[in-house]
Amino acid sequence: ARAEGWDMPTAYPASNYHTETAVAFAACVKGATAGKFDITVHPNGALFKGNDIKRAVQTGQAPIGERLISAHANENPLFGVDSIPFLASSFEASEKLWKAALPELEKLLASQNLVYVYAVPWPPQGLYTKKAVNSVADLKGVKFRSYSVATARIAELSGMIPVQIEAADLSQALATGVADSFISSGSTGFDVKAWEYMTHFYTVDAWLPRNVIFANKDSFDKLSASEKAAVKTCGDTAAASGLAQAKALTQKYIDALAANKMTVSAPGAQLKSELDGYGKTMTGEWEAKAGAAGKAIVDAYSK
């Protein structure tokens, strides 16, 4: 019975809004095909760990899956377009950037045997610290959790000490001071209960990374025309409702951090202009890596 349906591995808990969006997407597809086409969401990394999901879908081990796409920036800089620090730092800007990048990304995914279905952004990334930070000078020497090329580069530019902490060690590392600072969305800070270890949250809105939902091309091609249409239409609906969710939750999480006695504020003028400077530097570096396609995306976005 199960062979006719699709299994959809995702890396986040069932209560996360990305998972809820995926579950709604699955229900939508089922409804649109009169109950004939069933997608089962497997949250929590229970089927495949986050790291393995893209490869699993590429090679047909799973017919569809969800992945934080910028995690694959090592493979191709285009996958990191949504995570260039301080380039697109609002929902509107992020949407515009994503629209500019989508044709190239769809092409790239197709070359990897993947069909783009939809994408949902995370809330903007903010800066968590254990002290007040007014300028980049205050960050010098701070132990900063770097988990990606971009976060390592930010540490390098600002003179912070990058420390590599894996997700499993994060809470203890924060609690005991192995790391003093990290960049993440309000939702992640809420999830790890950042207020138990951190005092300040700066809404620097560094970038809005996205989870992309993609299907295996061979599996997708085997669907009937009406099933394909259902996947695409429901994907569009999911993208819209996921975006609305992300916007609604952003404020909710910021309020929750404040309610737990964290000092929540926008970055001061000096810090902001210094960070924007890093943004220009890193955008340039990204364009150099991503080549003509990358430059075209940034140009289209900046217009």
Partner 1 sequence: MEQVEFAGLFLVVLFFLLGTGVWVGLALVGVAFVGMALFTARPVGDAMITAMWSSASSWSLTALPLFIWMGEILFRTRLSEDMFKGLAPWMARLPGGLLHTNIVGCTIFAAVSGSSAATLTTVGKMTVPELKKRGYPERMVIGTLAGAATLGLMIPPSLTLIVYGVTINESITKLFMAGILPGLVLAAMFMAYLVIWAKLAKDYAPTPEPKISFAEKVAASRFLVPVILLIIAVIGSMYAGLATATEAAAIGVLGSLTLAALQGSLDAKSFLASLMGATRTSAMIALILCGAAFLSMAMGFTGLPRLLAEWIGSLGLSKFQLLMALLVFYIVLGCFLDGISSVVLTISIIEPMIRSVGIDVIWFGVFIVLVVEMAQITPPVGFNLFVMQGMTGHQMGFVAKAAFPMFLIMVAMVFVMILVPDLATWLPDHLTLAPG
Partner 2 sequence: MAIARVFRFVLDGLYKTAAALAALSLFGVFAIIVAQMIARWSGQSLRGSTDYAGYLMAASSFLAFAAALNHGYHIRVTMLHSLLGRRGGRWAEIWAFGVGSVIATYIAWYACKTVWWSRKLGDLSQGLDATPLWIPQTAMAAGAILLALAFLDNWVRLVATGRHGVRAETSDQIPLE
> For binding to partner 1 (CB under 8 A), which residues are involved?
2-3, 7, 13-15, 40, 42-49, 51-52, 55-56, 59-62, 130, 165-169, 171-173, 175-178, 190-191, 193, 195-199
Residue 291 binding target from partner 2, partner 1, none, CB below 5 to 8 Å by type: none
# residues contacting partner 2 (CB under 8 A): 22
Residue 149 binding target from partner 1, partner 2, none, CB below 5 to 8 Å by type: partner 2
Q: Which stretch binds partner 2 (CB under 8 A): 54-62, 199-207, 229-237, 258-266?
A: 54-62
Least Å distance between CB 117 and partner 1? 19
The pair of structure tokens assigned to 64 is 């569809």
- For partner 2, the closer of residues 100 and 179 by Cβ is 179
- Residue 214's nearest CA partner among 10, 3, 36 is 10
Residue 22 binding target from partner 2, partner 1, none, CB below 5 to 8 Å by type: none
Residue 116 binding target from partner 1, partner 2, none, CB below 5 to 8 Å by type: none
146 forms part of the interface with partner 2 (CB under 8 A): yes
CA dist 8 and 221 (Å) reads: 17
- For partner 1, the closer of residues 130 and 289 by Cβ is 130
Residues that bind partner 2 (CB under 8 A): 51, 55, 58-59, 71-72, 74-75, 112, 141, 143, 146-149, 152, 161-164, 166, 178
